[in-house]
Amino acid sequence: MSTEVAQNTLSSLLEAVQPPNGGRNIHDPATGELVARAPEHGTEELDAAVAAARAAQAAWAARSHGERSEFLNRAADAIEASAEALAELLSREQGKPLNGPNARFEVGACASWLRATAALDLQPEVLVDDATSHAELHYRPLGVIGAIGPWNWPMMISVWQLAPSLRMGNTVVMKPSEYTPLSVLALAAVINTELPDGVLTVVSGGREVGERLAAHPGIDKVMFTGSTATGKAIIRSSADTVKRLTLELGGNDAGIVLEDADPRAIAEDLFWGAFINTGQTCAALKRLYVPESIYDEVCDALVEVARLMPMGNGLDENNVLGPLQNKAQFDIVARLVDEARAAGARVLIGGNPVDDQPGYFYPTTLVADIANDNSLVVEEQFGPALPIIRYSTLDDAIAMANGLDVGLGASVWSSDPAQARQVAARIQAGSVWINKHGAIDPRVPFGGTKQSGYGLEFGVDGLKALGAPQVIS
């Protein structure tokens, strides 16, 4: 195989993924302009993709971990060669700007995640080794993985799903969000220049394709990132075939600022913890609890940071915040902020979208003096609006942080790491960060508690979740 890697342009990527006839129009959420047409696959195409994946799986599983890792590394090379075209397509379809922790960042993360997954070391575990017995725990490929992804980080989350699946010897059938199919189709087209046929297939379709994928007898496991409501539907659909599941569902992450924190020192990290991807991130900071003693200082510091962050068309190199990806999400954010204002909360900045501009732009919004039972706090806003809740005692803050039925991530902000760790241990969330929020790492397991889902991704534990445990005694 040649060591040269082809470099795609945006036009060549679109040519590779657009159907020759028909398809569904995909529009830029920043301008409303047509980006391209996406194929409208149905259940017949899904059945064919599953059959091809099953046919390719045995030969793929027969390769060693080292061989499969080499394929992942070559796929990372291919992504890097076409990085700018992929980032431009992502920006136009999803809306996120090229710069900041956005489109270029996401494409770069795809390549980095493939390499990190390829480098993980998974060895058989010796369970017993004495004079009478020897037992080892191995992890064998499951078979065919069905991956259902979201629209907020369509490329990166696809790699989170496909990289460990392929590394473990499984083949993959992916179903992207109807809002962002082009990004995933293009990413897979680039990756597939380095993979054997049938190992990775994308089926671009609607709800009926997702429902069929979750129930499909040829799928051995489903990985899903998205809403809790859809996750529950997948659980029901998968029951008859007793599929394994990894579900990363909705979060409404809390952050607790302690009294010893320096408001200005933490303000920018707080901002990006909440507003990365314009707030459209499952593990973003969505509720901020601040003690009375420094409440006004934290609010003022956040307003100062927010004023400096330009929002606009993602292809403008100056912007770091973009539009909401779709009208439905725009309406949710607008409703929640309006309800907070009507209930007497104080809007520090933002809260008034411009009616006559194109695109689903909602301004960066900070809301203070808000009750903990307000809908902007209780419901996941998934957009650029952060409620800042005042608390009197630390016990009150922890109780409020733990008071919802979700628990994906959380954070504690303090100048005293030891105290912060003590507080972190009391928070009901799958990941708790100290003086940062949402800082995921491909080496570190990630997963939710309560109704934020179950199962682990990332790291060696994420590899194990894509294998069938087998004990050999």
User: 169 and 144 in contact (C-beta within 8 Å)?
Assistant: no
Residue 213 near residue 46 (C-beta atoms within 8 A): yes
The crossing angle, in degrees rounded to 10, of helices 10-17 and 83-94 is 70
Among candidate residues 282, 299, 380, 457, the one labeled active-site is 282
Whether residue 211 lies in the annotated active site: no
| Cα 413-415-416 angle, rounded to 5 deg | 100
Determine the length of the chain: 473
SS (H, E, C) 287-307: EEEEEHHHHHHHHHHHHHHHH
d(CA 460, CA 464): 6
Query: What is each CA distance from 240 to 68, 236, 356, 451, in whole angstroms?
Result: 32, 8, 50, 22
Beta-carbon contacts of 409 under 8 Å, excluding residues fewer than 6 positions away, are 251, 253, 283, 429, 430, 431, 432, 433, 437, 438
| DSSP calls for 127-173 | EEESSS-EEEEEEEE-SEEEEE--SSSHHHHHHHHHHHHHHTT-EEE
Q: Quote the tokens at residue 299.
A: 């609010």
Is residue 299 annotated as part of the catalytic site, yes or no?
A: no
Structure token digits, residue 198 = 């049938």
Mind giving me the DSSP string for 44-100?
HHHHHHHHHHHHHHHHHHHS-HHHHHHHHHHHHHHHHHTHHHHHHHHHHHH---SSS
CB-based contacts of 299, cutoff 8 Å, min separation 6: 290, 348, 366, 368, 388
Catalytic one of 88, 93, 194, 248: 248
Backbone angles phi, psi at 414, to 5 degrees: -160, 155
Residue whose C-alpha is closest to residue 308's, from 364, 348, 357: 364
Q: Do 9 and 186 touch, CB atoms closer than 8 A? A: no
Shortest CA distance to 288 belongs to which of 307, 308, 303, 277?
303
CA 18 vs CA 103, 358, 448: distances in Å: 21, 25, 36
Cα distances (angstroms) measured from residue 366 to each of 101, 199, 266, 399: 20, 46, 16, 23
Active site members: 248, 282
